[in-house]
Amino acid sequence: MRMKSRLKRIRKDWILYVMLLPGMLYFVIFHIIPIINMKLAFQDYRIIGENVWVGMKHFQQLFSSPAFKDVLMNTVIISTMKIIFIFPIPILVSLLVNELRFGPFRKYVQSVSYLPHFLSWVVIAGIWITLLDPVDGGVNAIRNFFQLPSLDYMTSKEHIRWVLVYSEMWRSAGWDSILYLAAILKINPSLYEAARIDGASTLQQMRYITIPALMSTVVTLFILNLGFFMSAGFDQVFNLMNDSVLSVIDILDTYVYRIGILNGQYSYATAASLFKGAIGLVLILGTHFLSKRLTGKGVW
């Protein structure tokens, strides 16, 4: 009985499936097939001939290696720091920019704040290393101005994670605020009119109109970003690492790169990817369904 009505619905909605077709085709060819091929994680790759099944060997190698616990801890800590300190910033920036009247200053702010995102981490690392130079870097020049001693941030285990956080913030705060700005633009301006007439201050308008309207976007982005929790930013860390601080910022991806990719150990690297992806999947689906139950909002 259920089957018949299901088929009926499919037939009625045929155009939807047609509309969905190009996208699905793309996903199947360029994603599903490679993901199925991640079974490489359970095999030893042979260039000539069939791959050899080895079961959990690469996973065992990964989990039992002495550095694994450390890099995992680093990855979790750095990701958490980034979520707490970086995630809210674009929201704040978009709220602030929204208060500017449309004009040259607003255009200026928007144009400039997006710029760092265009640069690759190779470049940004160079910029920040110069900025943090203990002898003639800008940051220490400011510190000295306030009678504070110079700090060598780049080689300091206590500070290096903050360098990761702030440089990432520098790079993406402006860029990520674009989305929130686009969302804010959808808010009906008559709501603001009404609030102003009722005597609401700027901050109150923000609190009662803008922020609630942004909430669904915020929740969506937050949950989606959880999917990348195990990634923590390979390009950034790779370009900012040095011997002194390796132990505190070596993340899963840089570790796997050293051991796996550089030696052509693709199975090992794939096992690590599967691990990362599994965690990300659980995090996203978990928070999504939880959030839907609690707040009615989720990713979809």
Cα separation, 107 vs 97, in Å, equals 10
Cα separation, 290 vs 113, in Å, equals 34
94-133 residues near another protein, rule: CB under 8 A: 96-97, 99-100, 102, 105, 107-113, 115-120, 123, 126-127, 129-131, 133
Figure out which of the listed residues 76, 165, 200, 259 binds another protein, where binding follows CB under 8 A. Answer: 259
Residues 164 and 237 sit within 8 Å (Cβ to Cβ): yes
Residue 212 interacting with another protein (CB under 8 A) = no
Nearer to another protein (CB atom), residue 31 or residue 88: 31
Binding mask 226-245 for another protein (x = CB under 8 A): -xx-------------xxx-
Residues contacting another protein: total by CB under 8 A:
115
Q: What stretches of 28-120 show up as alpha helix (H) in DSSP?
A: 33-36, 57-64, 66-86, 88-98, 104-114
Q: How far is the CB of 168 from another protein (least distance, A)?
A: 13
Residue 46 interacting with another protein (CB under 8 A) = yes
Q: With the CA atoms of 219, 224, 229 and 232 taken in that order, what torsion angle do they form, in degrees rounded to the nearest 10?
A: -100
176-205 residues near another protein, rule: CB under 8 A: 178-179, 181-183, 185-186, 188-189, 201-203
15-34 residues near another protein, rule: CB under 8 A: 15-17, 19-20, 22-24, 26-27, 29-34
Q: How far is the CB of 2 from another protein (least distance, A)?
A: 11
Residue 151 interacting with another protein (CB under 8 A) = no
Binding mask 71-90 for another protein (x = CB under 8 A): --------------------
Q: Retrieve residue 151's tokens.
A: 């700090």
Coil, helix or strand for 34? helix
**Is 22 exposed, middle or buried, given 0-12, 13-18 or 19+ CB atoms closer than 10 A?**
exposed
Residue 10 interacting with another protein (CB under 8 A) = yes
Q: How far is the CB of 84 from another protein (least distance, A)?
A: 19
Figure out which of the listed residues 136, 198, 294, 296 binds another protein, where binding follows CB under 8 A. Answer: 136
Alpha-carbon separation of residue 86 from 3, 79, 132, 142, 300 (angstroms) = 48, 10, 20, 23, 23
Q: Retrieve residue 139's tokens.
A: 């940051």
E strands, 103-219, where? Answer: none
Residue 60 interacting with another protein (CB under 8 A) = no
